[in-house]
Structure 1
Amino acid sequence: MKIICALLFCAILIILANDENDDDDKPKDRKKLNATNELLQMHINKCTLWDRFKHFVRQNRHSMEQLNFMFAIPEQDYDGNTIKQHILERELQQGLLMESVTGNIEFEFVDDIGSDRKKVKKLGADRRKLLRRNLKSLITDIIQNPESHDVTFEHTCKLIGLYLSIRYADNYSTSAVVTPPPDNTCVISHGSTAMVSCKYVIRRKRLLRLVDNDNHLIIMNDILLSLLR
């Protein structure tokens, strides 16, 4: 009986050790993600994060899905490829490194500001929590004060898609496109399934309203009252 208990104890220790040293949760990956989170927090502290969100969507360099893996689900690998995900994380770090905000941090040493104490999954959850309120406030301000933001409806559509991915990480948006005129509807989808459709409607004032996913002529609730919660 003692031998069986000893073997079970050893097996548990091995499982715990493997979990702690999971290939997908290496200390260097923890430091990398944590360093990016620290850069994001610096921008929040300086009230410059709105500019960084707009910077990335205005570039039109990254697909909706790539933006998700940068901002919303960094603990996962884009296309199941660790190298692709590493490149996206580095591109995000490069876009965040501004001397006026983050100080004189050299890109090649950026991970040194990160810690490896938290697991990769926790760091992904931390990033979503960090960004959700700030992205919501940006989208709200774009809708209410469009003249203050140099963005198109296509950019706003992507920002809404990103917000949905941050809020619903398990069912993230894979595309966010605006249909051609005269429809001009932002359609945010997961795969081939439309998740959210919305368009600007002028009724005394300009409002961004949800519309039916199948019939964009059916106008529904104000997006600020129903979706951006």
Structure 2
Amino acid sequence: MNFSKEATYSDMDKHYAIFDMDGTLVDSMVYWGHLAGEFLESKGIAQIPKDILAKIKPMTMTEAAALFIQEFSLNSTPESIAVEMNAMMGEHYRKDIPLKSGVKKYLDFLYQKGVQMCVVSATAEHLMEACLKRLDILKHFRFLLSCETVGAGKDKPDAYFAAAKRLGASPANTAVYEDALYAAETAKNAGFYVIGVYDESAEKYWDKIENLADETIRGF
């Protein structure tokens, strides 16, 4: 592994920062990994093809719901399914999803330096707010932006550009913190400074993230 790009507190010299939430700030990927199965099982669908689970990874909740309707002939709308799935995750965000170790201290450091920060996530904004408020880090961020609000997942750069515009920032002066390879690739290709964050759920892609990212963080 290439440790030469591993970040320290002093390395991040950008004035703006966009943080992913799930797998980057909080340990929620296990919960998300089980969500599709939990939802489909509630509809009587016990056998879920692995390729379906792979397809939905870069999707917004509504996009994933539309795929479920197409693949499993569900008598519903993407919007109503998204509401159901958000409700399932909502309980975890409000009650038990933990902060990743060292995150609060790291955010405190950036905040004291005057870095303007926000969160961009596929997760709905009200769930982000509930989780980050419970974990006492909401105050560090100027705003929270969901890919649902933008209308595009992180396989497209729209959400990053929208966040940068709200921050009053240029991509080159904005660090994007991501644990997912496809999201890091999107941000990098859009001209952002990418900091890869290690998460166990993406361990098999870590070497690729290290090679792609401008800096990496194995642990805050």
TM-score of the alignment, normalized to the shorter chain, above 0.5: no
* Structure with max Cα Rg: 1
Greater RCO structure (CA 8 Å; 6+ sep) = 2
TM-score of the two chains, using structure 1 as the length reference = 0.25
TM-score normalised by the chain length of structure 2? 0.26
